[in-house]
Copies of this chain bind each other. A is one copy, B any other.
Amino acid sequence: MLAAQFSSFGRPDAVIELVEQPDPGEPGPGEVTIDAELFPINPADLLNLEGRYGAEQPALPMIPGAEGVGRVAAAGAGVSHLKPGERVLLPGPGTWRARFKTSAKAVFALPGGVDPKQLAMLRVNPPTAWLMLHEYVAPKRGQWVIQNAANSGVGHCLIRFAREDGAKTVNVVRRAELADDLRAFGADVVLTDGPDLDARVRDAIGGGALPLAIDAVGGSATQRLARCLDDGGTVVNYGALSGEACMLDVRETIFRDVSLRGFWLRRWFMQTPPEKIAALYRDLAARLGDGRLAVEVEAVYPIRRIKEALAHAARGGRKGKILVSFDAA
């Protein structure tokens, strides 16, 4: 069985290697085996390969990957809720491999008729956006949420979820040429980042309420978002694309009661009962099925070309995710 792994931290396309690993064998009682179809390369994967992800360094060698989609190969004794051929999320972390054997308990069948490329990106970005929008200070109908790195997978999901709620989005990007595409996708306001961001946001939203900011960047970008918030607002940080610590001026913390929180999807997995996790994924998969939710894909590489895929994923200026497929493996 083919797997992608790395044995030292470094440039992702340099340190990744394809290896043959023993097939996991037939499923035991209560287990299923799953054949992988597709996985995406996420920013967190790149950080992981570079040794910059998580509070502690992981042990090496390591198979990376937080998500992907596949089909049930075989179900062991006592497994009644899954049948061979049904599409399921790959159990993670460690999804960059061809075959899995796992307890069937946390595995659930995805709805049919949904593009598997979209399902391959279901596990991380959609619940990240969903939970950040709803679990801190959910903007009410007519209220606003501001996010940076708005052209990301999470950014796209957040735009769509906010629209469903009747809330509006201010989307901060680095490249002005993204604005038309994002507006066509559903963004209400698109602005480039800059020191006068708060003044331009206030011009754009008038007297609208802005209680929530979603920060993927860190550094001074955190402060620029915080400055846009209403008094008492919350910044939820889930990334550090700047490579810098979040900055928050006391003008915001002390005098305007702005809070900074962090979101990590893996913590939600650890703290949430499996049936509640499955229910959210079924809701989100249904949205992928009917088009309420969609994430752009820029390219699909076969697993044999994983190094090219990683180099592509590490480049700026993309318009969508890079996926890797086992079909041609």
Q: Which residues of A contact B (CB under 8 A)?
A: 54-55, 218, 223, 237-240, 245-264, 267
Cα distance A252–B246 in the bound complex, in angstroms: 10
In the complex, are the beta carbons of A239 and B246 less than 8 A apart?
no
The distance from the CB of A292 to the nearest CB of chain B, in whole angstroms, is 27
In the complex, are the beta carbons of B261 and A253 less than 8 A apart?
yes
Interface of A is mostly: mixed
Give A54's nearest chain B residue, CB to CB.
B255
In the complex, are the beta carbons of B262 and A257 less than 8 A apart?
yes
In the complex, are the beta carbons of B253 and A246 less than 8 A apart?
yes
In the complex, are the beta carbons of B267 and A262 less than 8 A apart?
no
| Contacts A246-B248, A248-B245, A248-B248 given; does A261 touch B263 at CB 8 Å | no
Pick from B54, B239, B256, B260: contact of A55, CB below 8 A.
B256
The distance from the CB of A266 to the nearest CB of chain B, in whole angstroms, is 8
What would 20 A/B residue contacts be, using CB atoms closer than 8 Å? A55-B251, A55-B255, A55-B256, A223-B245, A237-B250, A238-B254, A239-B250, A239-B254, A245-B248, A245-B249, A246-B249, A246-B253, A248-B248, A253-B260, A254-B262, A254-B263, A256-B262, A257-B264, A257-B267, A260-B260
Cα distance A162–B256 in the bound complex, in angstroms: 27
Cα distance A254–B258 in the bound complex, in angstroms: 17
Given the complex, which residues of B lie within 8 Å of A245, measured CB to CB? Answer: 223, 247-250
Given the complex, which residues of B lie within 8 Å of A238, measured CB to CB? Answer: 254
In the complex, are the beta carbons of B254 and A250 less than 8 A apart?
no
Given the complex, which residues of B lie within 8 Å of A254, measured CB to CB? Answer: 237-240, 262-264
Given the complex, which residues of B lie within 8 Å of A246, measured CB to CB? Answer: 247-250, 253
With A240-B250, A255-B264 already in contact, 16 other A-B pairs whose C-beta atoms are closer than 8 Å? A218-B250, A237-B250, A240-B254, A246-B247, A246-B248, A247-B247, A248-B248, A252-B262, A254-B262, A254-B264, A257-B267, A258-B262, A259-B259, A259-B260, A259-B261, A260-B260
Cα distance A177–B218 in the bound complex, in angstroms: 37
Given the complex, which residues of B lie within 8 Å of A262, measured CB to CB? Answer: 250, 252-259
For the complex of A and B, 9 pairs with smallest distance between CB atoms: A253-B262, A55-B255, A260-B260, A240-B250, A254-B262, A245-B247, A245-B249, A237-B253, A254-B264
The distance from the CB of A283 to the nearest CB of chain B, in whole angstroms, is 24
Cα distance A255–B250 in the bound complex, in angstroms: 23
Cα distance A283–B250 in the bound complex, in angstroms: 29
The distance from the CB of A226 to the nearest CB of chain B, in whole angstroms, is 10
